[in-house]
Amino acid sequence: MKLTTATITLAFVALTSAQYDVESKDFRLVLSSKDSTVNGQTLSACHTGAAIESLCLSGKPSTSKPDPIAAATFRFNTSSNVETPSDGDVPGILTYKLNATPPIPSSLEFFYDPITNYALPLLFPGQGADTQTLAFDSKNLLNKQGYVNYKTSPPTAGNTTAYYRWYACQTYFSGYQYVNLVWALGEGKPETPGCAKVDVKRVFI
């Protein structure tokens, strides 16, 4: 397809109008779980490629991180021009400033490997079309809102629901092995043995 300047300009306008430009105060992300080795753990940003980080559990040892590391500081960017759905929480993106000179504003995307049943959330520089929109509920729990119910045939749309499909799992990504926060695709548990169901809470600093 040949893209005209008008098409490109329109696409650019669409992209810029969805900018998440309103930054929240600093917070930590703290896990709660029935698994006592995971309960109370904070999330850190673990190096997993050039300017790419995964959300690893600060105190959980793994091949690529044998020792505990400091909890990361996160923010939640909402948009000054995206309307909040009347039946849902305010959508936004999870952001992090990668320590560099100058610091690199980064945001969360889901990385999908088609052969498994979970997505790996990763922090990448900037924000773009692949940045994952998320939300916090009234209890400060991180969730993903969906408005399509896939459990009916045909699927039914129109009822916004918050999903909390977070797990802590041993992961492998591009040679790096950590215990990371992951997102289960669908209702089941991630197929990797030993994953613990978790809730992810925002605690302002």
Ligand X SMILES: *[C@@H]1O[C@H](CO)[C@@H](O)[C@H](O)[C@H]1NC(C)=O
The contact set with ligand X (CB under 6 A) reads 21, 23, 77, 95, 105-107, 127, 159, 161
| Residue 11 Cα to chain centre, angstroms | 25
Please state the closest distance from residue 36 (CB atom) to ligand X, in A: 30
Closest to ligand X by CB, 39 vs 132, is 132
User: Given CA atoms 25, 90, 109, 58 in this order, what sign does their dihedral have?
Assistant: positive
Please state the closest distance from residue 3 (CB atom) to ligand X, in A: 25
Closest to ligand X by CB, 41 vs 77, is 77
Closest to ligand X by CB, 136 vs 195, is 136
Please state the closest distance from residue 25 (CB atom) to ligand X, in A: 12
Please state the closest distance from residue 156 (CB atom) to ligand X, in A: 8
Please state the closest distance from residue 78 (CB atom) to ligand X, in A: 9
Closest to ligand X by CB, 1 vs 204, is 204
Closest to ligand X by CB, 48 vs 107, is 107
